[in-house]
Structure 1
Amino acid sequence: MVVTGAGTGIGRAVARRLLAAGASVTLVGRRAEALREAADAEGGERAQVHPADVSAEHGARSAVEAAVARFGAVDGLVNNAGLARFAPIEKADLADLEAMLGVNLLGPVHLIRAALPELRERQGAVVNVSSVGGALAMPGRSLYGATKAALNSLTRSLARELAPRVRVNAILPGPVDTPMYGDLGLDERATRDLVADMVEATPLGRFGTPDDIAGWVCNLLDPEASGWVTGALVAIDGGRSA
C-alpha cells in the first residue's frame, strides 16, 4: 500500500489501520521527521518511510518505485496529501491556486499513472481523499473547492476508464480535526470563526477525527468489503452535506 500525507492526520490514521491489519505500507509525505515518527509508532518493519513531493511527477514515481522495491508490489493507493488555502476570490493569491492544484489534483494523477501497472496486475484499488468542499457551494473557499471538485470528477471518470481491473473511489470528509486548520492562510481570529461556523453547520455538532475517516478509506481498499464498489464519492461529514 502507498499512503500519501501519511505523517499526520487522516493519512497517519489510515496507515495505522492498514499496518494493524497486517498490510505493508509506504508512508509518503514532504516531512521526513513526521513520517519517521509515524512509522516508528505504528508499523515497525512493515512501514517504509519515503519523503517526496508528490505534486512533482518524479516524486510520485519515486514513491511507487520505492514501495515495489521494498515490498514487491502495490495493490492499493491512498491519495490523501492535500493543501488548503482559503480566501475570497478578490483577495486570493493565484499562486495558492497553483499550489493546491499541484497537491490536490496533479499529485493523484502522477501517482495513479505511476502505480497503474502494479494496480492492474494486482487488481488493486485507489482511494482519493477529497472533500465535501468539492460538492458544496463554499463562499470564501471557492478555489480550494474547485480543486476538490476536479478530484471528484477524476475519480468518477477513472472508475470507468480503469474498470474492471482497478477500482477508484473517493472519500469526501467534512471538517476533520487535523493540523491543516493551522495552515489555511488565515489569521487566528478568522480561523477560529471558520471553525465555529463549520461546527454550527454540521448536524452532528463536532469536527470529525482522523479515525472517523480512516475506517472508510480502509473499507474501500478491501476487496472483500467493497469489491463491487467503484466510482463512489462517499461523504463522511457528520451530515454537513445532507
Structure 2
Amino acid sequence: MAWYHSYFKGLPQRAWKLHQNEEYTDFEVDFLRDVLEIKEGNRILDVLSGYGRHAIPLAEAGCELTCIDISTEYCEELQAAVNSKQLDIDVICADVLGYNFPEKSFNAAYCFGNSFSFFPRRETQQLITAVANTLKKGGYYAIQTENLAESILPNFQTRNWMPVKEGIIYLAENDYRPEEGYIEAEQTFISGAESVTHMVRQHIYTLSEISYMFETAGLQVTGTFGNLEADPFVLGDEQLYLIARKL
C-alpha cells in the first residue's frame, strides 16, 4: 500500500492544513478562474482536493464541483461544509488511480496542493490520461507542484525542519534516489508529547517529462509559470504552475 493511503490523518493532516495560507489560497482561486477560463455553471474536477480550500470558493461562485481525495478526515470535513453551506459539490472519498470518471464531463480540472508528485511514472501518466479523458474538448487542466526537478535539485537539502502553528514542529530527512527518480523522506511531526513519523516517497520529474506526459494524453501545454503573476518558469523557481488544454 502506498504511503499516501495512511498519511493524511491525525497530526500530519492537521499540520498540513495549519500550514496553508488563506490569503494565498484566495490568490490561487483567482488564478484558477483566469487560466481555466471558468464561467458560472461550469463543471470542474478537483483532483486530490483535500478539505476543499479551492473547491468551496469556486462552488460559492456558482460552479459545479466534483472533488476526489483519499483522506477520510478531509472528505468528512469537506462534506460537512457542503451540507452546512448547501454547495454544489460532489465529494468522492477514493483512490483517484482506481476511480472511473465519466468521459467528456468537465469543463476544467486542476490538481493543486503539491500532490502531483505522489505517483511513479506509469501511474502519473495514467492519472493525466484519465483527467484528459474526462475533459470536454477545449477544457483546461492546471497543476501545481513544488517537487519539480528544476525546483528541488539545485538546492537539495538532506535535512530540514520548520515550526508550523499551534506548537507543531516538522522535521524531515531526505534521500534522493537518482536511479529511481524519487525522494524518500522520513517526516516527523511533533506536538508536545505526541510524535508521528511517516516514510514518504515523492517522485521527481523534469518539466520536459511532465510536458511530454501531458502531450501523450492529448493535452497541449499552454503555459508554465513560476508564480501566480504568470511569470515564465525558470530554473530554481520554487514551484510550477502548468496549464494544458484538451485538443
TM-score with structure 1 setting the length: 0.47
Which structure's residues are more often strand, by fraction?
A: 2
Q: Give the helix-richer structure, 1 or 2.
A: 1
Which TM-score applies when normalising by structure 2?
0.46
